[in-house]
């Protein structure tokens, strides 16, 4: 499962940070997940809820999951458009010379500790 791998990676990063900074616990995690990152929200949340029970600092951590829209840029007409709706071909000039600007990453935006 793709989501579990990412969850474990994110949790490990935060656990390490918590340990380094000598916090008691991490109570909230704000995560930005790109629309075209391949992550399915339901699976991700399930995996997170399962995995956090095995952590040292994140047992009571609340997950704030924010979806970031996928945006693609067209090199030929210099316009941007929503990736999920139109895919790789520019809806304005039908050029295939496009690339993804946002929406591919999973990013830790903020954590709240006690």
Give yes or no for residue 90 binding Zn ion (CB under 5 A). Answer: yes
Q: Nearer Cβ to Zn ion, position 93 or 107?
A: 93
Give yes or no for residue 71 binding Zn ion (CB under 5 A). Answer: no
Give yes or no for residue 74 binding Zn ion (CB under 5 A). Answer: yes
Binders of Zn ion: how many residues, by CB under 5 A? Answer: 7
Give the sign of the dihedral formed by CA 47, CA 23, CA 25, CA 31: negative
Taking residue 74's Cβ as centre, other Cβ atoms within 10 Å add up to 21
CA distance 103 to 38: 10
Residues within the interface to Zn ion (CB under 5 A): 74, 76-77, 90, 92-93, 95
């Amino acid at each position: 499962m793709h989501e579990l791998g990412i969850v474990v990676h994110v949790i490990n990063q935060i656990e390490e940070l918590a340990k380094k900074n000598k916090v008691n616990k991490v109570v909230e995690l704000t995560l930005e997940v790109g629309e075209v990152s391949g992550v399915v929200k339901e699976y991700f949340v399930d995996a997170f809820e399962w995995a956090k029970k095995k952590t040292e600092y994140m047992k009571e951590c609340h997950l704030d999951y924010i979806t970031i829209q996928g945006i693609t840029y067209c090199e030929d007409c210099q316009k941007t458009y929503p990736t999920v709706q139109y895919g790789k071909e520019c809806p304005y000039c039908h050029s295939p010379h496009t690339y993804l600007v946002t929406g591919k990453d999973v990013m830790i935006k903020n954590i709240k500790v006690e």
